[in-house]
Structure formats: C-alpha cells, structure tokens
Amino acid sequence: MADVHSPAVRSKNMRAIRSKNTKPELLVRKSLHAAGFRYRLHDKRLPGKPDIVLPKYRTVIFVHGCFWHGHDCKFFKLPQTRTKFWQEKIETNQARDREHIAQLIQLGWSVIVVWECEVKACGQGILDLIRPSLGKSNSDKI
C-alpha cells in the first residue's frame, strides 16, 4: 500500500511528533503536581533520561507512547509501508527501554512505566496507576 502523503508532507508530519512534553506526559505531571509530588524532568544523569524523576521516592516514571514503544494495545498498529524498517525501529526502542530500566534498577531506582493508552483510559485517575508503585522495586517489569 502506498503512502497517502507526499514525502514532504510525511516529513513535516514526522518532525511534528514530540519526544518531550507530550500530552500524556503533561497529564501525568499535572496529576502528580496537584497531589503534592515534586519532581524533576528528563534528568540527563540517569540512564534513558526518564520523563519524570521523583528523587524523594527514588522513583522514575517513563511515559511511553504506544506506537513508538510497541505496546500491545489498540493504539499500536505496525505501518503497512516500510514494515521491516518500522519493526526494526520499534524492536530497537524496546531493547533500549529494557536496558535503561535494568540499569536504573541496578542503581537502586524504582521504575514505573505508564502507557499512553493507560493515561487516556483513566483520565483523572492517573495517580491510581502510579501511587501503588512509588518506592517499590519493580524489577519484574523487565
């Protein structure tokens, strides 16, 4: 199946995709802040530059987009054009995610992964996803 956009339009669309300050990330941050949690953003000193770092709880939060990280949900569909490229790209992202999570756990950090679809599904109940995991080691997520 051919792409419905010209190369210039496709390039413009892809450039517009954010890696930081995405809507799901902003919703998680807003909920954390409203609940009184204080955090740092995209700390370069930690593996993977986690989206949110809660130093007091020694916890990091990654807010993953379902497409870019290959989540098994209704929001992820492998493109029908350049399938091999996209499959390799997403598998590389997943391997990098596993490596960063393992490094963070080895350094003594708890890691929480929040998926885009979870944020969309729970709306205002985002803290219900996060609060039970604060300060706990979750090495079983690797």
pLDDT in tens, 31-61: 899 888 999 999 999 999 999 999 999 999 9
Provide the Cα torsion 117, 52, 103, 92; round to 10°: 40
The answer to whether residues 137 and 110 touch, using CB atoms and an 8 Å cutoff, is yes
pLDDT surpassing 80 at residue 140: no
Per-domain boundaries in the chain: 20-141
Give the tens place of pLDDT for each residue, 81-134: 888 998 999 999 999 999 999 999 999 999 999 998 888 777 667 777 777 666
Domain 20-141 of CATH type 3.40.50.300: no
Output the pLDDT for position 62: 93
Q: What is the mean pLDDT of residues 3-21?
A: 65
Distance between start and end Cα atoms, the chain: 35
pLDDT higher than 90, residue 75: no
Diameter of the chain measured on Cα atoms? 50
Q: Which of 58, 52, 56 is nearest to 22 (CA)?
A: 52
Residue 136 DSSP symbol: -
pTM of this structure: 0.80
Strand ordering across the sheet containing 52-54:
40-41, 52-54, 59-64, 110-115
Which 3 state secondary structure label does DSSP give 120?
Answer: helix
Asked if 63 contacts 119 with a C-beta cutoff of 8 angstroms, the reply is: yes
> Which pLDDT score is estimated for 139?
41
More confident residue, 119 or 17: 119
